[in-house]
Amino acid sequence: MNAIYRQTEASPNDPIGGKASALAALQHEGFRIPPWFAIAAEAFAGTSENKVPRLPDAIRALLPDAVREICPGNELVAVRSSAIDEDGVEHSFAGQLQSFLSVEHAEISEKAFAVARSAGGRSVRRYRQERGLNFDSHLVDDACLIVRDGKYWFYYKGRQLGKSPGQTQMGVAIADKPEGPYLKHKANPVIPGNHEVLVWTQGNGVAAMIGSKLTIVKCR
Q: Which residues pair with 173 in a beta bridge?
A: 154, 184
**pLDDT, the chain, mean:** 82
Mean pLDDT of 145-168: 84
Mean pLDDT of 96-123: 89
Cα 166 from Cα 46, distance rounded (Å): 8
- In this structure, the number of other CB atoms found within 10 A of the CB of residue 37 comes to 21
Predicted pLDDT of residue 213: 55
Predicted pLDDT of residue 216: 55
Predicted pLDDT of residue 140: 83
Cα 110 from Cα 131, distance rounded (Å): 30
pTM > 0.75: no
Could you tell me the domains of the chain?
A: 4-128 (3.30.1490.20), 139-217 (no CATH)
For residues 213 and 127, the model is more confident at: 127
Q: 137 burial class (0-12, 13-18, 19+ CB within 10 angstroms)?
A: buried
Cα 90 to Cα 14, 19, 68, 166, 171: the distances in Å are: 19, 14, 35, 29, 21
CA dihedral 70, 71, 75, 79 (to 10 degrees): 40
Predicted pLDDT of residue 154: 93
Check pLDDT > 60 for residue 3. yes
**pLDDT tens-digit map of 52-108:** 556 788 888 999 999 999 999 999 999 999 887 677 777 788 888 899 999 999 999
Check pLDDT > 90 for residue 23. yes
Query: Under a CB-based contact definition with an 8 Å cutoff, are residues 25 and 19 in contact?
Result: no
Query: Under a CB-based contact definition with an 8 Å cutoff, are residues 109 and 55 in contact?
Result: yes
Share of the chain above pLDDT 90, in %: 31
CA dihedral 108, 110, 112, 118 (to 10 degrees): -150
